[in-house]
Amino acid sequence: MLAVIDACRPPVSEVNGNRQLAKRVEEATNLPLMGAPANRLRYKGPMTELTVPTPLETVDLTMTDGAIIRLRRHGNPDGPRLILAHGNGFATDAYFPFWQLLMDDYDLILYDQRNHGHNPRHDDISHHDITYFVSDMDSVLNG
């Protein structure tokens, strides 16, 4: 779904090959996706308040250096499991307009990178780098 905002990508309907999903994203986000080049996407109207539902479950994982990564479960616990995170900066909740479309069919496990979103602040800023992000992801996948 991140391809939606990547200016180097072809139209979203071509990226994922699923016009129905592209149409659902367009309706949920108010973005003109169908056949629109990704670098021309604009909101049609004013932004509205983003309300993320309460998770079905929350679990804190402690990383090897003491950082806490908070996992949040949403969606359909009987569906196939998807683990979603954001890139460096921002937070996974900001992508709710996209991942909400998966909630009926998938068991979603969401987490934020260390020192982002729902995670408590970890004071050792030297661990805020790709090596630790990869290690954190490995811990989430095996946690």
Calculate ∠ Cα 133-136-141, nearest 5°: 125
Mean pLDDT of the chain: 76
- What is the per-residue pLDDT for 141? 92
Tokens of 110: 């969401």
Asked whether the beta carbons of 34 and 28 are under 8 A apart, the reply is: no
pLDDT tens digits, residue range 69-103? 999 999 999 999 999 998 767 788 888 989 999 99
Q: What is the pTM of this model?
A: 0.65
Q: Phi and psi of 131, rounded to 5°?
A: -60, -45
Of residues 120 and 46, more confidently modeled: 120
3-state class (DSSP) for residue 128: coil
- pLDDT for 125 equals 82
Cα 137 versus chain centre, distance: 14
CA distance linking residue 101 with residue 109, whole number of Å: 14
Burial class of residue 80, CB neighbours in 10 A (0-12, 13-18, 19+): exposed
Q: How many Cα atoms occupy the beta-carbon half-sphere of 124 within 13 Å? A: 10
